[in-house]
Amino acid sequence: MTNKNILAQARALTLPSREASLNREASVSHFWNSNRNLLEEAWAEWEIENKDNLLVPDETLLDPRLQKAIKEAWENPEKENAVADLWEEISPGVYVAQFFNPERLADFRNYLEAVVNSQIPKRAPYGIQLNRYGIMLDPRSEGYLAAPNFQAFYNDIMDRYMRPIARLLLDTYGYDNQTFGFSIQYNPDKDKDLHAHTDASAATLNININLPDEAFTGSQVDFYDKTTGKTVQTTFESGKAIIHRGDVAHATHPIISGQRSNLVVWLYGDRMQIPRGGASSYGSVDNSESRVVTSDSISARERWTVPKSPKDTFAPF
């Protein structure tokens, strides 16, 4: 099959109906699974077809201070405090920092527009209105964004950035082997809010990808401190990220005007294991010695490692 035939065949597929997708009918999974290989090949060919005018997403899109601190910590984990210093704790287990470089966000958004306009079928997260920016990002998900260059960037974010940051700030070591991610856009007329909930993750990284001049009103995020009963409200700014423990309850207020676009990525353990019982239970079980491994017993060098276990096939949704 020629390159053009692969793309043409993928683009000619008839997607499951919105109703079938929202109802999670068996035919929907069958559609994505039976066409998985074709779609992966189509994304690879799409990159080749557009190689002269398509961004290759990489770490240079990220905040220069974060890039520098992360690079130095990987070279010498004893310098990890410079990474922690970039994050402000706004509520217990909730931290904010600049993640994307606002000056490079237009490049990344242009890339995502090209993805949207590719006409290659993509699956949005279940439960949303299938808006333009609703895309599954992780290979464990049906209909994911399988463009090879994007996947390399996604894995760098998870392996080089999110995992060691979560271990450093949230004590997630042992519950972070597996990854998950999706993109979403909040709009006043659809997908406008999110009720109070917790995530099926050990850690969640929520990254705003609005351009600096792309204003919106509303869409504040509430984080609930179950110890004190207090609520902290924050608003996303261009390129900023919030990282928090999955068991921290949070809710999104309705967006009133404009649009808010975000990448949301999760870490959790094998077979979707997450810590139970609150922040004090974070840590992993070392079965050889029957003890709980916490941040106090983990060295800096252990935090700055990539798990060797393979990715499994469990997906939260």
Each residue's pLDDT tens digit, 192-224: 556 889 999 999 999 999 999 999 999 999 999
At 281 the pLDDT is 44
At 317 the pLDDT is 86
Domains contained in the chain, CATH given: 3-274+299-304 (2.60.120.620)
- Contact present, 153 and 47 (Cβ < 8 Å): no
- Contact present, 171 and 294 (Cβ < 8 Å): yes
3-class secondary-structure state, position 197? strand
Q: Is the pLDDT of residue 282 over 60?
A: no
**Residue 100 per-residue DSSP state:** B
Q: What is the pTM of this model?
A: 0.91
Query: From CA 105, how far away is CA 111, in angstroms rounded?
Result: 10
What is the tens place of the pLDDT at every residue in 286-307? 433 323 344 567 999 999 999 9
Looking up tokens 């996303």, which residue turns up?
Answer: 236
